[in-house]
Structure 1
Amino acid sequence: MATRRLWRRGGNSMKRTIGWVVVAAGLGVAMLDGCVVPLVGAAAVGGTVVATDRRPVGIQVEDKAIESRVNAALIDKIPKTAMNINVTSYNRKVLLAGQVRTAEMRALAEQAAAKVENVRQVVNELTVGETASLGDRTDDTLLAGKVKTALLGAEGVPTGVVTTTVEQGVVYLMGKVSPSEGEAAAKTASRVSGVRRVVKLFDLISDQEVAAIKKSQEASPSGAKNEGRP
């Protein structure tokens, strides 16, 4: 579906190629000679642990497990046809973004997520109304790719640290960053065409903590560390 939309808008092979690059960036992959390979420093994909991530390895794995458990809890409580919910867990803080049909469902979704094992906080950004169309969701996927690409080369934004979620043109940013890094990431995202609003949900740490994490990662053989505070 995304391919057809790009082709209608593109009009020639060069624009189609650019469209594929944007989609690939949004999925955290690069396309080389017809092959798909992971981008170095990209966000965790499919449960993969990322060396540049500032969360301990155990927390990265747990966040993926939390997302699965929250999704299962939501499906158990709310009819699939009545919701479109993106679940993102970072450092055991769960973001719920999307739409549900009623205010009761919105509250129910938050309650269900909060009861999931090891969830420390729930940020409920759900709106009440009709769920997003397939076209809207495709646009959000493309926009997420553009935002991630912009962050990748932005000055003052650490690579592989900021997690991006896009819903209805609203960009949600999560990650363990210093105040200056968070501001740089938010400003970069806000300049991307199509972004309606940027919501910062960072876990702020000091410059000294940033330096300590970098030193720990450099000292670890795998580039990441299993232990340490969340």
Structure 2
Amino acid sequence: MTTTTARRIAIALAAGAVTLAGLSACAPLVVGGAAVAGAGMVATDRRSSAAQVDDQAIELRGAARIRDIANDDMNVTVTSFNRQVLLTGTVGSEADKRKVEEAIRRVDNVRSVVNEVVVGPGSSFPDRSNDAFITGKVKAALLDQNDIFANSFKVVTERGVVYLMGIATRTETDRATDVARGTSGVKKVVRMVEVISDQELANLKAQQPLSQMNGSGSTSTGSGSSAPASTSSSTSTSRVPLPPMEPLPGSPSAAPAATPAASGVVTTPVR
């Protein structure tokens, strides 16, 4: 067995094990990333250390807020990256969907919320297990690429739909999207990426080691603030929306290209 193969298997198994730990059918809510953060990730993450801490706090506080309003039909996952929150899962009504979003928007330091919660029956255990497996495969595939810094992206999967969250250049984002699209089992890719320029990335790399060592960071902004949440380790104020991607050749959705949702997120059909 080669080192690369062993590494891919280990990542897939680890991601699956962590995710499956929260897949109990009676659990109304899953916290997106608070359970798997480590000291090594802080040093290599493009987010500032302050943003990483805020993201974990947002997920934990969001979990508590939703737990207060949860019912038997509410199964929601809260994932935060650079203080931008993705909501996935299912609820029993449109009113519950609105209540979930309103609860998360009141959490301190949340910059924006993308509500991808679906009104309908909750996913089955096999569905959740499959999503965990897909997440592991996508992460492993990203790690195998020499032209992508895999830790720039957080991967979330819900019923075969892969969400890419991160801070990356347009080239990196397009490449990561292609990798995710080519992973078996992926139905669609949604990109929630803060696009930065090559110069901004160079500045980020130059400033990051110092900021991560001394733990410096900008003052967190309140919910709904339009001020950039990045710290001195990230000079980017770019919020460039990604353009729709062309459908894959022969795709049934080859008719028009995917249309950006009202939130600015772009969905990309895949095989």
Q: Return the TM-score normalized by structure 2.
A: 0.67
- How many residues align? The count is 197
Cα pair distance change 1:134/1:213, threshold 3 Å: same
**Does structure 2 retain, via aligned residues, the 8 Å contact 1:155–1:184?**
no
Q: Which residue of the partner structure matches residue 72 of structure 1?
A: 64
Q: Which residue of the partner structure matches residue 124 of structure 1?
A: 115
Once the two structures are superposed, residues 14-67 of structure 1 have per-residue CA deviations (whole angstroms, 9 ceiling, x without a partner) of xxxx97763225468xxxxxxxxxxxxxx8853434211111101101100000
- Distance between the aligned counterparts of 1:158 and 1:225, measured in 2? 22
Cα pair distance change 1:44/1:110, threshold 3 Å: closer
Amino acid at match of 1:197: K
Amino acid at match of 1:24: A
- Distance between the aligned counterparts of 1:154 and 1:19, measured in 2? 15
**Does structure 1 retain, via aligned residues, the 8 Å contact 2:48–2:208?**
no
User: Aligned match of 2:175 in 161, 184, 199?
Assistant: 184
Cα pair distance change 1:184/1:116, threshold 3 Å: same
- Distance between the aligned counterparts of 2:10 and 2:211, measured in 1? 36
Once the two structures are superposed, residues 144-192 of structure 1 have per-residue CA deviations (whole angstroms, 9 ceiling, x without a partner) of 1001000111243213110000000000001111111111111100100
Q: Which residue of the partner structure matches residue 263 of structure 2?
A: none
- Distance between the aligned counterparts of 1:119 and 1:220, measured in 2? 22
Q: Which residue of the partner structure matches residue 94 of structure 1?
A: 85
Q: Let me know the Cα RMSD of the aligned residues.
A: 2.3
Once the two structures are superposed, residues 73-96 of structure 1 have per-residue CA deviations (whole angstroms, 9 ceiling, x without a partner) of 1111121x2122111101111100
User: Aligned match of 2:48 in 47, 52, 56?
Assistant: 56
Amino acid at match of 2:63: N
Cα pair distance change 1:45/1:178, threshold 3 Å: farther
Q: Which residue of the partner structure matches residue 194 of structure 2?
A: 203
Give unmatched runs, 5+ long, in structure 2: 1-7, 19-32, 219-228, 231-271
Q: Return the TM-score normalized by structure 1.
A: 0.78
**Does structure 2 retain, via aligned residues, the 8 Å contact 1:90–1:175?**
yes
**Does structure 1 retain, via aligned residues, the 8 Å contact 2:11–2:140?**
no
- How far is 1:137 from its partner? 0.6
Amino acid at match of 2:102: Q
Cα pair distance change 1:45/1:152, threshold 3 Å: farther
Q: Which residue of the partner structure matches residue 154 of structure 2?
A: 163
